Structure 1
Amino acid sequence: GEMFDLPAALMSQGASFEDTIQYLAERGEYGPISDVDAFVQERVDQARAFAPHYMERMRSNGQTISVEGNPLAQGGWVTVYTDITSIKRQESLLRGHSAQLSDQLLTHSEELARTNRELASTIAALEQTKRDLTASVALSRTTTEMMPAHIAHLDLDEVYTYSNGKLRTVLPDRSDHIEGQTARQVLGDEAYGAIKPYLIRAFQGDATVFEFTYSKDMRRIRVAFTPGRGPFGAVRGVYILTMDITEEAQARAALMQTHKRELAAQLTSGLAHDFANLLTIILGLQGRMEKLPALPAAALEMITTTRAVALRGGVLLDRLSNISGNREIQNRATALGSLFSEMRALANPSLPDHINLTLDATAVDRPVMLDSGLLQDSLLNLILNARDSIAAQSGAITVVANTVKNLWLELTVSDTGQGFSKTALIRALEPFFTTKHNDSGSGLGLSMVYDFAQLSGGLVKIANRPEGGAVVSLRLPLKYGATQTSPRLILLVEDNPDIRVNVREMLRELGHSVLEATSADEAETLAAIPGIDLVLTDITLDGSRTGLDLAQNLSNGQFHNRVYMITSLPQSDAIRQKAEAAFPLIAKPFSLPQLTEFLATEPAK
């Protein structure tokens, strides 16, 4: 700016190149110009197609300057202007005494001076390029280190030459400091064995994307390999992007299982309907035949057997409906200790005295989010299967709950029975597969367990124990639920006096204080009392307004997200469906542990 005496506006950041050339041209910097606008446009066009150059010129004030320009990789250019008036003056003096100097020395001196000026200008441009490149590398490294994935590079010897330090986000048991180590050293035998075939393909020039499951904590991992090529196209290494997609894989599995069940429902609904009609006709005919006079004993026995078989078909239809019907997972905060206590009460009557049942949930001391009803059905199925495997021998069934890597809730059911056959280890989770040779096996028990696990985003594993017997492991995504420990003031709205007394005593047993109402109008009056923490209302109430009307009114005011509902209406009822879509809801009848879990559930925001 000082060299050309530019105004402040043209020396500030963001000044226009075109305005600068216009200003210099109008001042006569470039000598006489007939068409200034055309001259300015020509200089702008040259700049847009910028090429490295060096030139010297004399200004209108007699000053001689050198101009060295170089483009930048990221766009734009750097131009260095140097006052060389004194140097040119020395050259002129030298030329004036040319008689005393040889022509060769004079030429060499001029060339040396010019070379020095070009070198100085080039060094300045390189320094600026170096600063720009350093800033660009720092920005790239910062960006990769912020990504929730591991980014790395392997050379041809499978040695890490770069890592963004995020390997532990994918494999928590490995180190983040891996540069200079080989892939096998860093990953360990299992993970390296999983990626090796794809790594070979990447070194051969094929980009690959694949997934594998890391057995130490059952994480699902996605890896992308991109070959890095040299100037002549040869592969010089491999770039790696690795991500933990466990939650995505859980969601995919649940969605896939839902699609399978929808397809099964479509295929079986018509068959089930016709089968039910046939069973109804058979049962009706058997009932009429049984009333015929003077039937022989053999005929009565056949009628009884036929009726039993038809009723057995009805049970099979119910199970088929459960596995292929429109069932949804309803996760709630569940205390596994209470759930196991209920399971013991349900399972013990079906177990003979020579089979000992152990249930242990001490390792999971916080409520977890799951569908307690479907989990209980699944575990009872496994317990009864274990009972049948033990048969008449003395034996034990053990149910244990644990957490795995703070990622999974694992429930294992093991027994001392006969274990799985080779065929069962392969086909046990298939619908209708059974090893029971009497009429007691429908083949839907383990399949329903698998169905529940898949819908929950989990998995089921079956195996034989080395010491004998079978073990079934059910893994579900681990999510902890809210725990309500402090007593609350609850407004209970229920029109049936017997049910109201029963629920009130449950709430008091949990340490809560209770206000009672039988209608929506009465409840709205009591809701004005300060200090009420939540409202628990039935759908069906005295008066013209329902519990849903009451809930909608209260939730729009001070009880937003603090209204819970109970009902005995069937799931097909339209009012129940509306209530369930808007508020937490539990169906009657319910136990104290179920009510505890229900009240600990956080309402949807």
Structure 2
Amino acid sequence: MLRPDECYRCDMLSDATRAELTRSGLNLIPQAISIFDASLRLAVSNRSYREMFDLPPHLTEPGAAFEDTIRFLVTRGEYGPVDDPEEAVRFRVEQARAFQPHYFERTRPDGRMIAVEGAPLAQGGWVAVYTDITEIRRQEGLLRTRSEELSGQILDHAERLAAANRELAAMNASLEEAKRVLTEAEARTRQVTEMVPAHIAHLDAGGRYSFSNNQLSEVFPGARRSIVGLSIAEAVDAGTWAKIRPFWQKALTGAPQVFELTHDASGRRIRVALRPDRAGGGVYVLSTDVTAEVQAREALMHAARRALAASLTSGLAHDFGNLLTIILALQDRLARLALPQEAAADVQATIAAARRGTTLLDGIASITAPRTVVARPVDVAALLAEVAALARPSLGEGIALEVVADLKAEPLMLDSGHLQDSLLNLVLNARDALAGTGGGHIEITAKAAGQWLDLTVEDDGPGFSDPALSQATQPFFTTRPGQGSGLGLSQVYDQTKLAGGTLRLGNRPGGGARVRLRLPRRAARRLMVLVVDDEPAIRAHVRDMLTGFGHAVIEAGSLAEARGLLDLPGLGLILSDLQLGDGLGSDLAAAAPMPVLLMTSLPPGDPLREGAGVPVLSKPLDPAALAVRLMEIADA
């Protein structure tokens, strides 16, 4: 039995040693063996091959051309007399290129008989084995001569049967090799499909999975992973199956289907392709998560519409603003005069209309204004209560507003201003939808859904019309001409996308509109931050900004003072000026065991700023940029 170190040495044999072992083993086989590759170049041969055909050395070296070997044998008379040697060479080369299994026997010019057995290889090329059967045939001849009792016909049949058996054995060997290669290829294909970030499957005509790459649960969260043998109705939830069923039925008729659906449990957008299996029946399935793609596409389309609206209105808005300024100035002058009551009322109405025009201009300006998200720790339940308190006085008689918050008492990182604006917009839209109905009910609900915060605003009014469902988030679209600017839902959409969330419009089953905001649910993680700056006023400004984000702050007025505070328990971040009175803030990065952020008034590209080695923010600090950096550090 081999010791472990001996097995290790066996595994470490060099390629040259392995090749030499193979060559030595082949040389001990009495049959002549040759292996040619797909380009008809000699790959391997043994000593018996050279000796049987008395070949020169250059024809037994790897790389020797099959055509040269045949030409040598034809010229020497190995195949008997031929009228056209080159035609004989061409004929045998063409036969070899066919790579067909074969067995035959032939008599050489010296009277000896050889059996030739060949089989193609799965990698291309073929192997041939040459056996000298002279003695076997001599013994058979003696047996035929001495055994008069035996029928010559039986011997003939036996010979044919033996030849057929040898040919069948050659073919079986070729099939076994092809089977091995096919099995390995199938294993590699299965491994590749299991690595693809999509669900690949085959369903039979009855809707049962005959193949799956076990990725269904990665695309449809909550679905089973191992589904072969199950029906599609058993593998996915009832709501998803109801959406897939019509397309599945069409695919069974032979019509390929590509469609998208929303997975209700996770909110993911899934693209499903169904390709009929025309040969075996059933359907091939490819399902991919295209949530990010759809969000990007919607954002791009919305941005394009916004840019078009801005380009069409920006010039007009400027001139219109000047006209409104003149109108308001003139009307204010008239309002100070002693006018008849009717004229005074007309002046006030004109002023109100002009001010309404300025409000519309502000909305137009907000289309192209730069937007940023400033995330702070937010108590969502308290924010909802504040929204309700702001909205209730404007709801009017008979309209009730209810808030339902099913959330843990934990602050979340959100832009409270954007979120409050969005919810107020939605509540006021719901109020307008209920106008003229004699009253109604509006409800704001909030709940956690995995990594998302779901906020829903519902009412029991008439609901969204079909045009509103398809166009409501487009700038200037309104179903109340003359009563609204058409910018409310557009702004809600923009603010939600900017925060990394989604907006879904729909109608309730019992009647009424439903708008759902889904925002990333990031728990607020408080940091202890050491602020280093030699200007007390700047430290105070940065301290107020950080405490507003919910972080604790410690201050240092110099590099030396900051170094003395590096070992404070719980210290999570250093925010320092790049240029301090007694050194560089970047010197803290080498000694500090926690992340370091620098701030400076030096412009981008300055050598001192570029060589800092840590992230650098520009002064004055942008709250949004600082908030993003703090979230990244807190989440790390």
TM > 0.5: yes
Q: Is residue 370 of structure 2 the alignment partner of residue 336 of structure 1?
A: no
Quote the Cα distance in structure 1 between the aligned partners of 2:535 and 2:480: 48
Mark the CA change 1:462 to 1:364 in structure 2 (over 3 Å): closer, same or farther.
Answer: farther
**CA 1:208–1:80: 2 relative to 1, 3 Å:** farther
C-alpha distance in 1 between matches for 2:482 and 2:38: 89
Give the one of 602, 611, 617 matched to 1:556.
Answer: 611
1:206 is matched with 255
- State the number of aligned residues: 554
* Residues 505-529 of structure 1, C-alpha deviations (whole Å, 9 max, x = no match): 5657833211248997546736246
Q: 1:321 to 1:181 in 2, by over 3 A?
A: same
Q: Which moved more, 1:393-402 or 1:133-142?
A: 393-402
Q: Is the 8 A contact 2:533 2:577 kept in 1?
A: no
**2:55 paired residue number:** 27
Contact 1:68 1:79 in 2 (8 A): yes
Q: Is the 8 A contact 1:490 1:512 kept in 2?
A: yes
Q: Once the 2 structures are TM-superposed, how far is the Cα of residue 174 of structure 1 from its aligned partner? A: 2.2
Q: Quick one: which amino acid aligns to residue 264 of structure 2?
A: S
The SS at the match of 1:283 is helix
Alignment partner of 1:158: what SS? coil
Mapping of 1:424-463 within 5 angstroms? 427=468, 429=472, 431-432=475-476, 441-454=484-497, 456=500, 458-463=502-507
Q: Does 1:122 align with 2:171?
A: yes
Distance in 2 (alpha carbons) for counterparts of 1:316 and 1:174: 49
Asked if the contact 1:492–1:536 (Cα under 8 Å) also holds between the matched residues in 2, the reply is no
Q: Please state if 1:315 is matched with 2:359.
A: yes
- Residue 96 (structure 1) aligns with: 145
Amino acid at match of 1:138: A
Pair 1:300 & 2:344 matched: yes
- For residues 227 and 471 of structure 1, the distance between their equivalents in structure 2, rounded to whole angstroms, comes to 38
Q: Structure 2 vs 1, CA of residues 124 and 490 (structure 1 numbering), >3 Å: closer, same or farther?
A: same
**One-letter identity of the residue aligned with 2:631:** A
1:18 to 39, 42, 46: 42
> What SS does the corresponding residue of 1:34 show, helix, strand or coil?
helix
Partner of 1:260: 305
- Corresponding letter in the other structure for 2:528: P
1:226 aligned residue = 275
Aligned-pair CA distance for 1:151: 1.5
Q: 1:604 to 1:256 in 2, by over 3 A?
A: farther
Equivalents in 2 of 1:400, 1:258: separation in Å? 29
Q: Deviations over 1:114-140 (max 9, x none)?
A: 223223323322322222222222222
Amino acid in the other structure paired with 1:512: V
Structure 2 residue 169 is the aligned partner of structure 1 residue 169 = no
Kindly indicate whether the alpha-carbon contact (under 8 Å) linking 1:489 and 1:533 is maintained by their aligned counterparts in 2: no
| Pairing partner for 2:543 from 495, 504, 508 | 504
Match of 1:312, as an amino acid?
Answer: R
SS at match of 1:600: helix
Normalising by the residue count of structure 2, what TM-score does the alignment of the two structures yield?
Answer: 0.71
Give secondary structure in 1 for the equivalent of 2:339: coil
Cα distance, 1:311 vs structure 2:
0.9
Give how far 1:378 is off.
0.9
CA offset digits 1:54-108 (Å, max 9, x no partner): 2124578987443333335664445455564553233222233364543323322
Higher relative contact order (CA 8 A, sep 6+): 1
Kept in 1: contact 2:32–2:129 (CA 8 A): no
Change in CA separation of 1:74 and 1:459 when aligned onto 2, cut-off 3 Å: farther
Instruction: Tell me the amino acid that sits aligned with residue 27 of structure 1.
Output: L
Go from structure 1 to structure 2 and tell me whether the alpha carbon gap of 1:91 and 1:438 turns closer, same or farther (over 3 Å shift). closer
CA distance 1:265–1:83, change in 2 (3 Å): farther
- The one-letter amino acid of 1:585's match is D
Q: Which of 79, 83, 105 in structure 1 is aligned with 2:154?
A: 105
> Could you tell me which residue of structure 2 aligns to residue 139 of structure 1?
188
- Give the corresponding residue for 2:583: 525
In the other structure, the counterpart of 2:245 is: 196
Shift of 1:238: 2.2
Given that 1:410 and 1:474 are in contact with CA atoms closer than 8 Å, whether structure 2 keeps it comes out as: yes
CA positional deviation for 1:490: 1.9
SS at match of 2:230: coil
The amino acid across from 1:296 in the alignment is P
After superposition, residues 49-60 of structure 1 pair within 5 angstroms as: 49-57=98-106
One-letter identity of the residue aligned with 2:543: R
- Could you tell me how far 1:566 is from its partner in structure 2? 5.3
Map of 2:233 onto structure 1: 184
> Is 2:387 the partner of 1:362?
no
Question: Helix, strand or coil for the counterpart of 1:512?
Answer: strand
Take 1:507 and 1:552, find their aligned partners in 2: how far apart are those partners? Answer: 28
Quote how far apart the aligned CAs of 1:340 are.
6.1
Q: Residue 193 of structure 2 contacts residue 213 of structure 2 at CA under 8 Å; is this kept in 1?
A: yes
The aligned counterpart of 1:276 is 321
Give the corresponding residue for 1:2: 27
The alignment partner of 2:623 has SS state of strand
Alpha carbons of 1:510 and 1:357: their partners in 2 closer, same or farther (altered >3 Å)? farther
- Report if the CA contact (8 A) 2:37-2:125 is conserved: no
3-state secondary structure, aligned to 2:75: coil
Distance 1:258 1:524 in 2: 48
- Asked if the contact 2:247–2:257 (Cα under 8 Å) also holds between the matched residues in 1, the reply is yes
Q: 1:490 is matched with which residue: 518, 531, 542?
A: 531
Question: CA separation in 1, counterparts of 2:304 and 2:206?
Answer: 45
2:449 — aligned with what? Answer: 404
Q: Find the counterpart in structure 2 of residue 572 from structure 1.
A: none
User: What's the offset of the Cα at 1:390?
Assistant: 8.5
1:404-444 CA distances to partner (integer Å, 9 max, x unpaired)? 344x43112357xxx332456863736556688996x4443
- Give, in angstroms, the shift of residue 5 of structure 1: 7.2
Over the aligned positions, Cα root-mean-square deviation in angstroms equals 4.7
TM-superposed deviation, 1:223 = 1.7
Within 1, Cα distance between the matches of 2:173 and 2:577?
Answer: 87
Aligned to 2:81: none
Q: Identify unmatched segments of 5+ residues in structure 1.
A: 540-545, 568-583, 588-593
Q: Distance in 2 between matches of 1:601 and 1:487?
A: 15
Moved more, 161-170 or 594-603: 594-603
Q: 1:162 to 1:533 in 2, by over 3 A?
A: closer
Greater Cα shift, 258-267 or 454-463: 454-463
Q: Tell me which amino acid in the other structure corresponds to 1:556.
A: G
Distance, in Å, in 1 between the alignment partners of 2:634 and 2:224 is 40
User: Structure 1 residues 189 and 400, CA, compared in 2 at 3 Å: closer, same or farther?
Assistant: closer
**Residue in 2 that maps onto 1:250:** 295
Residue in 2 that maps onto 1:421: 462
**Deviation for aligned residue 1:315:** 0.5
Q: Is the 8 A contact 1:69 1:78 kept in 2?
A: yes
Stretches of structure 2 lacking an aligned partner (at least 5 in a row): 1-25, 57-68, 78-84, 559-575
Structure 1 position 211, deviation (Å): 1.8
Q: 1:526 to 1:454 in 2, by over 3 A?
A: closer
Query: Residue in 1 aligned with 2:423?
Result: 379
SS at match of 2:552: coil
**SS in structure 1 at match of 2:42:** helix
Residue type matched to 1:586 in 2? Answer: P
Q: Is the 8 A contact 2:433 2:461 kept in 1?
A: no
| Distance (whole Å) between structure 1 residues aligned to residue 249 and residue 409 of structure 2 | 43
CA distance, structure 2, for counterparts of residue 146 and residue 332 of structure 1: 38
Give the TM-score of the pair, scaled to structure 1.
0.75
Q: Distance in 2 between matches of 1:565 and 1:358?
A: 41
> Alpha carbons of 1:4 and 1:15: their partners in 2 closer, same or farther (altered >3 Å)?
farther
Residue 216 in 1 paired to residue 258 in 2? no
**Residue 534 of structure 2 contacts residue 581 of structure 2 at CA under 8 Å; is this kept in 1?**
yes
